[in-house]
Amino acid sequence: MKKNKISKNWVNKQRRDIYVRQSKVDGYRARSVYKLIEIDEKFKIFKGGMSVIDIGAAPGSWSQYVSKNVKSGKIISVDIKEIQQIPNVIQIKGDFTETNIQDQIKSFLKKGSDVVMSDMAINTTGIKNIDAIQTGELCKEAMVFSSDVLSKKGYFISKIFMGSTFNEIVALGKKLFKEVKVFKPKSSRKDSKESFIICKNLR
């Protein structure tokens, strides 16, 4: 009974959500694309000819946006789930934390990547502190990986939750990058503790 009530509330929230409706109009697979659009509008990140790695890409809306805005570039999307094909995107199915998947990603790069971006979050347990910690660990792994593949002036973009790991992640960002900003897009739900960390220029 309780589960049905939660499901019904979620469906009603989705129906009322202007970004869910807009994503259908614009042909994007998820509302999360508008977070990336806001990040790009604020920080002016994407341009033609770039190499971009999208970690935790499913269902693919971030890769969709980049494929429209990075002409003649290289986009590599990675997820443990199957992603429906996106034009001009190299898709890798697997867990990015595994060495063989990271090697596969690197094999597509002739030189460093310009952007590594991640909207990854673990499958939630409903216990917010645990979810924040586990998602924070994924963010740190993605950040360390990005420091290995990014070009000197490259960008790292990742979801980050306010919680016990927040300061730790920001500190790691400052250790690896010269510029670190935290930004909460308007399209991020008000009741969500998520923000995004945007790091630029490797040390």
Residues 6+ apart with CB under 8 A from 8: none
Query: Is residue 110 domain-resident?
Result: yes
CA-wise closest residue to 97 among 59, 132, 58, 143: 143
* Structural domain span for residue 84: 29-202
CA distance 192 to 128: 10
Position 103 in a domain: yes
- Give me the number of domains the chain comprises: 1
- Read off φ and ψ for residue 121, nearest 5 degrees: -150, 150
Pairwise CA distance, residues 150 & 76, whole Å: 13
Domain assignment of residue 63, yes or no:
yes
Tokens of 59: 């269902």
Question: Looking at the annotation, which residues are catalytic?
Answer: 159
For the chain, the first-to-last Cα distance in angstroms comes to 53
Structural domain contains residue 11: no
* pLDDT at site 131: 66
On whether residue 148 sits in a domain, the answer given is yes
Cross-strand partners of 150? 113
Phi, psi of 99 (to 5 degrees): -55, -40
- Mean pLDDT by groups of 10 residues along the chain of 203 residues: 48 63 86 95 96 96 95 94 94 95 94 94 64 82 96 96 88 97 90 90 97
Is residue 5, in this structure, part of any structural domain at all? Answer: no
CATH number at residue 121: 3.40.50.150
pLDDT of residue 12: 46
Helix (H), strand (E) at residue 138 = helix 128-149
Block residue for tokens 């919680």: 163
Instruction: Output the pTM of the full model.
Output: 0.87
Residue 140 half-sphere exposure toward CB, CA atoms < 13 A:
15
3-state SS assignment for residue 70: coil
How far apart, in whole angstroms, are the C-alpha atoms of residue 190 and residue 167?
A: 21
Contact assessment for residue 131 and residue 124, using Cβ atoms and an 8 Å cutoff = yes
Residue 201 sits at φ, ψ, to 5 deg, of 65, 95
Pairing type for strands 150-161 and 51-55 reads unpaired
CB atoms within 10 A of CB 182: 14
